[in-house]
Amino acid sequence: MQSIKSQEKGANVLKIKKICIVGGGTAGWMTAAGLSNKFSDLGISIELVESDKIGTVGVGEATLPHIRYFNNSLGINEKEFMLATRATFKLGIEFCDWGKLGDKYLHPFGDYGMPIHNIEYHHFWLRLLQKGHKSRLCDHSFPVLAAESGKFQHPHGDINKIGSNYGYAYQFDSGLYAKFLRQYSEDRKVKRTEGLVTEVFQDSESGNINAILLEDGTNIESDLFIDCSGFRGLLIEQKLKTGYEDWSNWLPCNRAVAVQCEQKGPSLPYTRATARKAGWQWRIPLQHRTGNGYVYWDKYISDDEAAHKLLNTLEGDPLTEPKQLYFKTGKRKKLWKKNVVAIGLSGGFMEPLESTSIHLIQEGITALIELFPDKSFHKSDIQEYNRRMDLNFDRVRDFLLLHYVATQRDDSEMWKFFRNMMLPSSLEDKLQAWLNRGYLTRYEHGVFHPPSWLAVMAGQNLLPNSYDPRANNFDYDTIKTKLDNLRNENKIAVNKTPGHASYLKKFGASIVN
């Protein structure tokens, strides 16, 4: 008992009293909001340092459903948030030309049907498909049909209704979201300091960062530093020399050009990703404009040509000049080192194919709150944080790579490269489990669940040789009728669903009168 008491007494002495966040933008202000919500009443001061002289990337405007839980944990009102960020609802992502030229499918935030006698629904769909009964997997999903029809409503509370078993996310202006969270954070005693960091001081014994110096001579000391400085990695890399895992051998697209344009017609409740010969193009509809970008591999297209192709495919007149971005896909070898935690682009970058950037920020914040340290910075906490974040990055990487390798395209050198590449063993194992008999591997950690993998593999014509043999224990006509009934019920439910724009107005989140 004496040992336990002494540890408890020591813990009070070692309490974190000051957190300094270096960098603003989406990552910085999400971190400030999350930490201030949990710790501002516990005597921990939080200071965020940013400079208006340094721009943010600011093109990540599409999200995953998990952002709703983050906002809810902060007590944010959905309607107020949507009005402030010009947000639209998002039911999924439409992929065009990924499997073959002319193909398209939608990856929804929901399952396809419900299990039948504890057998996953897609095995029965595969059984009918192999018997020659043709139907799109997408027709078995209410959110897909609703998105394709430009319709939306919040999921029903009644789990027995068709429109209940799906999620939704948002498409919003990330700059306005950062501004919204800044106000939230400052209301909870977060101090914002304007200034450029010119020097970083490191303790000679522990190696911890103990202070930063600003351009105007201000010296800021802190117990814990959060690096949200973007690709530069001002603390985690430039000072602590953590190292970077380069994943260019698997995800070689290394540049992007982005532009905003006028919106033509009503905003749609989904993001679009269209495959191109040297990369892919995004389209993200907000209430007041449309975000566009071309992610590409500079080995096969020049910057000027990429910008030209993007501008020529806009649906409306451009509202901004094209913004050029350069990146290297991968992650820091450690996202937490010493007393520095890297969150956002300072920790790693994944191309925005499945809207994972904001989600990885959220995962970093959540893990930090759960493993919040004292001044001793226990090795076990740091190792657990890095283990969890490594898993998150690894599994996002594999899911993004799936889109490129599950293809029949050979019309360009880039697509030929992906058809012949060596895969990470983690992805290879998952693909073989699917191809052998339609088995979808489940992970304890990882943002994308089996329905997401099913959407991409089936949507890009990667179908298994067989299916769960238990599906053969049921009468064929009975199963066919059950699946046909679900498709018809989905269509009926979609017909009764309001249009996305009209629902935004009814909900009170529309900026359009």
What values do phi and psi take at 48, rounded to 5? Answer: -110, 125
Residues 284 and 291 sit within 8 Å (Cβ to Cβ): yes
What is the H or E stretch that residue 8 is in? helix 2-13
Pull the structure tokens for residue 369: 């709150």
DSSP for 302-341, please give it.
-HHHHHHHHHHT-SS-BSS--EEEE---EEES-SEETTEE
What values do phi and psi take at 64, rounded to 5? Answer: -105, 165
Q: Pairing relation of β-strands 255-261 and 271-276?
A: unpaired
The one catalytic residue among 9, 15, 18, 90: 90
Q: Distance (Å, rounded) from C-alpha 80 to C-alpha 206?
A: 45
DSSP for 184-230, please give it.
HHHHTTPEEEE--EEEEEE-TTT--EEEEEETTS-EEE-SEEEE--G
Question: Is 337 among the residues known to form the active site?
Answer: no
CA dist 360 to 13, 40, 172, Å?
A: 32, 23, 17
Q: Distance (Å, rounded) from C-alpha 486 to C-alpha 110?
A: 15
Three-class SS of 249-312: CCCCCCEEEEEEECCCCCCCCCEEEEEECCEEEEEEECCCCEEEEEEECCCCCCHHHHHHHHHH
**Shortest CA distance to 195 belongs to which of 229, 167, 226?**
229
SS3 54: coil
Q: Pairing relation of β-strands 290-296 and 255-261?
A: antiparallel
Q: Distance (Å, rounded) from C-alpha 101 to C-alpha 97?
A: 4
Residues known to be catalytic? 90
